């Protein structure tokens, strides 16, 4: 991948965070990247090509910040690791904002666009299973089906809270607090089973 392409993809991530997937205009992208529109069509086949590669680009970035951990390690308890993982998606940084906006757009677009659904389902499954595994470490004696259900709820809630945060309904600190409360509530629920 040429550095020009990377430059354009970084600009695309910013434009998508500002205007949404469906609000991205090639001309605005060109201005943001400081290049001509023609150059974008030279490096990417068409507007859809830009979108696909940008979503991929953003996804890679998200995996990176999700897994980067511990320069020198104070080992986390399972509960801390679970909360950490969930709360990583609720931070007011440029990167998380861009990724969450793009994820929300992807989810919302998929409602009206069959083509996106498969990618979305796959990514969601991975995410749910990761959370279920972490829950299993906190509550070792709970059946897998109950863990899976709790994980689905926590991740769905995370998406809901992200949207409220991004759409200005709640502040980020409040979102984080609510998320921690949900973990507590779910763990209380699992305990009773």
- Interface contacts to its own copies, rule CB under 8 A: 18-20, 22-23, 101, 104-105, 107-112, 117, 120-121, 124, 149-150, 152-153, 155-161, 163-164, 166-170, 177-178, 181-182, 184-186, 188-189, 191-192
If contact means CB under 5 to 8 A according to the sort of partner, which of its own copies, DNA, none does residue 19 touch? its own copies
CA dihedral 86, 87, 90, 91 (to 10 degrees): -140
Please, are residues 43 and 2 in contact by the beta-carbon 8 Å criterion? yes
Residue 186 burial class via C-beta count within 10 angstroms: exposed 0-12, middle 13-18, buried 19 and up: buried
User: What number of other Cβ atoms are within 10 A of residue 100's Cβ?
Assistant: 22
Please, are residues 90 and 158 in contact by the beta-carbon 8 Å criterion? yes
If contact means CB under 5 to 8 A according to the sort of partner, which of its own copies, DNA, none does residue 52 touch? none
Asked if 117 touches DNA (CB under 7 A), the answer is: no
Q: How far apart are CA 189 and CA 150, in angstroms?
A: 9
Distance of closest approach, residue 57 Cβ to its own copies, in angstroms = 20
If contact means CB under 5 to 8 A according to the sort of partner, which of DNA, its own copies, none does residue 117 touch? its own copies
* Interacting residues with DNA (CB under 7 A): 2, 4, 24-27, 34-39, 41-43, 46-48
């Amino acid at each position: 991948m040429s550095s020009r392409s990377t430059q354009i993809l970084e600009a695309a991530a910013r434009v998508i965070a500002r205007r949404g997937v469906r609000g991205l205009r090639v001309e605005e992208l060109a201005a943001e990247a400081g290049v001509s529109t023609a150059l974008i069509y030279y490096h990417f086949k068409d507007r859809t090509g830009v979108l696909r590669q940008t979503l991929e680009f953003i996804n890679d970035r998200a995996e990176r910040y999700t897994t980067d951990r511990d320069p020198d390690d104070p080992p986390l308890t399972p509960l801390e690791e679970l909360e950490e993982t969930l709360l990583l998606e609720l931070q007011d940084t440029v990167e998380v904002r861009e990724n969450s906006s793009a994820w929300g757009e992807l989810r919302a677009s998929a409602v009206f666009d069959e083509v996106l659904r498969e990618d979305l389902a796959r990514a969601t499954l991975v995410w749910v299973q990761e959370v279920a595994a972490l829950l299993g470490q906190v509550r070792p004696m709970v059946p897998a089906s109950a863990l899976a259900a709790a994980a689905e709820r926590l991740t769905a809630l995370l998406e809901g809270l992200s949207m409220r945060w991004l759409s200005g309904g709640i502040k980020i600190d409040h979102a984080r607090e609510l998320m921690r409360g949900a973990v507590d509530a779910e763990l209380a629920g699992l305990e009773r089973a």
